[in-house]
Structure 1
Amino acid sequence: MESIRVFAGDCTVHFEGSRDRTQRGRVVVVVKPDRTVLVHDVSGYQPVAWLTRADSLTVESGPGSFGLVAHAGEQVLTVESNDVTGRAEYPASEAGIPVGSHPKTGEPLVRTNGAVVGLDSGTEFRLPAGATVLDETCDDCGLPLMRTERGATFEVCIDRQCDPLDDRVKDRFDGEWSCPDCDSPMRIIRRSGRLLAGCDAYPECETAFSVPAGVVVDDCECGLPVFETERGRRCLDSTCEFA
């Protein structure tokens, strides 16, 4: 679990960059794991000084003092304590939409950018693009189900080891279409992290297409399926001249 460090006290803050400035006051300094530094005073939500995702960060903390230097390109943020009020370190995680709890650990599960994450352990379940996490849970493991579209609509466990989406798509569409270049069956495969419809004659024929997030609604003039996606209709072959 990553942590956020917090320092408080009478500090001198110096910023070099687009507008050089030096400030002093009793402030709270927040240091995030991604090397973002925020300096807050008594008013408002806006920090009086900050540096986002610094290229380098040095923090020195002694019995009665602390200081830091953060660099991001040509910008430099320096904080020096004159009088220390307090310091602490707290476990932290991304904040997301609550989607239930882990059936084994009981820890809260939240949906963040592209994943469902356990708040206490950091356990992560990556979600396919466009997936919706459901209120229903998996009958086998108790984790939440997700709904996703890959040629058809599938409801599967968020744990791909428990109920692999690839297997569902393969059961439904493996051999369903023919290669437009050699007429061999198209197989559902995963290659380089992508779910593909690839020619069964590989490596003699290297034709392969990414399976988009959407459902099959029609046949294209080229013989491949047409998908309805968030951006409209498209052929499995995104470069198809008939699409």
Structure 2
Amino acid sequence: MIDDAIRVLAGDCTVIAEDADRSEYRGRVTTIVKPDNTVLVHDIDGYQPVAWLTRADSVSSDRTGDFTLVAKKDTQTLRIAAHDQDGFAHYPTSAAGTPVGDCPDCGGALVRSSGVTCVSCGDRYGVPADATIRDDQCDCDCGLPKMRVERGLAFNVCLDRACESLDAAVKQAFDREWGCPEPDCDGDLRILRRGGLIAGCEHYPDCEVGFAVPAGVVDGECACGLPTFETGSGIRCLDATCDRALEGALETEPTADD
């Protein structure tokens, strides 16, 4: 079940916003409190709230008689007091995004926002920003869609990393594929997860060489000896700081001895 909910408070209210200045309003308004403690107070005009507080540190409310609500963040305080209450309710909420399939657990819609979320049961799956959600389902019995992700090669893997691991697929393809470029190091680059996927020297921490694996496919070799990747923004070296001439490396034809 989805635990997150939006609180909606409506009525004839006094609204006081305090920071360096103090502003006071009164009118029939609707107050929305989002799960991240963002508070928005709307009146009849336009889309802009008359008062708001983004991601408050605390939000407290009292429904004894007509409701009151106090939201605080650092030096900011937003106070709302109802003189005549029209309504006070909680509504379930979820991420809103592009539909990408059906949830195999509950049959609800899967949508893509920052990740992939079921709008009914709340199941969530982390998805790389550059991933493409495919129409075909995973080969196992999980029933989830597959995603296409470029990390040296184009990989088609399940949305659920516990079902089919993108890390494992990249590691199988490129672990120890390239040598460490440090002149005094004879190590190989291993595929590791350190915040993101990296190609890092096996002799860490003695050798701290490591490169984020870019979103793209390997298409050649840089003059520095590392692979080049074809990405959405062009050709680049695995080492994003490499200042050697990629053009020369790409134009050099291999000899019979290479």
Identity rate of aligned residues, in percent? 54
Residue of structure 2 in register with 1:148 after alignment: 149
Residue of structure 2 in register with 1:95 after alignment: 96
Letter paired with 1:46: Q
Judging changes above 3 Å, is the alpha-carbon distance between structure 1 residues 206 and 18 closer, same or farther for their aligned structure 2 residues? Answer: closer
Judging changes above 3 Å, is the alpha-carbon distance between structure 1 residues 172 and 86 closer, same or farther for their aligned structure 2 residues? Answer: same
Match of 2:189 among 186, 191, 201: 186
2:117 maps to 1:117:
yes
Residue of structure 2 in register with 1:132 after alignment: 132
Say which SS state the counterpart of residue 58 (structure 1) adopts.
strand
Decide whether the 8 Å contact of 1:129 with 1:213 is kept in 2: no
**Aligned positions of 1:216-231 closer than 5 A:** 216-231=218-233
Judging changes above 3 Å, is the alpha-carbon distance between structure 1 residues 24 and 222 closer, same or farther for their aligned structure 2 residues? Answer: same
Letter paired with 1:197: A
TM-score, normalised relative to structure 1:
0.90
Give structure 1 stretches of 5+ with no counterpart.
Answer: none
TM-score, normalised relative to structure 2:
0.85
**Aligned positions of 1:22-171 closer than 5 A:** 22-62=24-64, 64-113=65-114, 115-140=115-140, 141-171=142-172
Say which SS state the counterpart of residue 150 (structure 1) adopts.
strand
Letter paired with 1:31: V
- Count residues in correspondence: 240
**For 1:57 and 1:158, how far apart are their aligned partners in 2?**
35
**For 2:19 and 2:177, how far apart are their aligned partners in 1?**
59
**For 2:47 and 2:243, how far apart are their aligned partners in 1?**
53
Say which SS state the counterpart of residue 178 (structure 1) adopts.
coil
Residue of structure 2 in register with 1:173 after alignment: 174
Decide whether the 8 Å contact of 2:106 with 2:120 is kept in 1: no
Give structure 2 stretches of 5+ with no counterpart.
Answer: 247-258
**For 2:55 and 2:206, how far apart are their aligned partners in 1?**
47
**For 1:34 and 1:17, how far apart are their aligned partners in 2?**
21
**For 1:97 and 1:18, how far apart are their aligned partners in 2?**
41
**For 2:95 and 2:177, how far apart are their aligned partners in 1?**
41
Decide whether the 8 Å contact of 1:25 with 1:41 is kept in 2: yes
Please list every run of at least 4 consecutive aligned residues from structure 1 whose deviation after the TM superposition is greater than 6 angstroms. Answer: none
Letter paired with 1:38: L
Judging changes above 3 Å, is the alpha-carbon distance between structure 1 residues 78 and 219 closer, same or farther for their aligned structure 2 residues? Answer: same
Residue of structure 1 in register with 2:202 after alignment: 200
| Cα drift, residue 164 of structure 1 | 0.7
| Cα drift, residue 19 of structure 1 | 5.5
Calculate the aligned-residue CA RMSD, in Å: 1.9
| Cα drift, residue 43 of structure 1 | 3.0
Cα deviations across residues 90-140 of structure 1 (Å, max 9, x unaligned)? 111221111111112212211111x11122332211112311112222121
Match of 1:215 among 190, 214, 217: 217
Match of 2:238 among 227, 236, 239: 236
Cα deviations across residues 74-105 of structure 1 (Å, max 9, x unaligned)? 33221111111221111112211111111122
**For 1:31 and 1:204, how far apart are their aligned partners in 2?**
51
Judging changes above 3 Å, is the alpha-carbon distance between structure 1 residues 79 and 240 closer, same or farther for their aligned structure 2 residues? Answer: same
Letter paired with 2:210: A
Deviates more, 1:169-178 or 1:213-222: 169-178
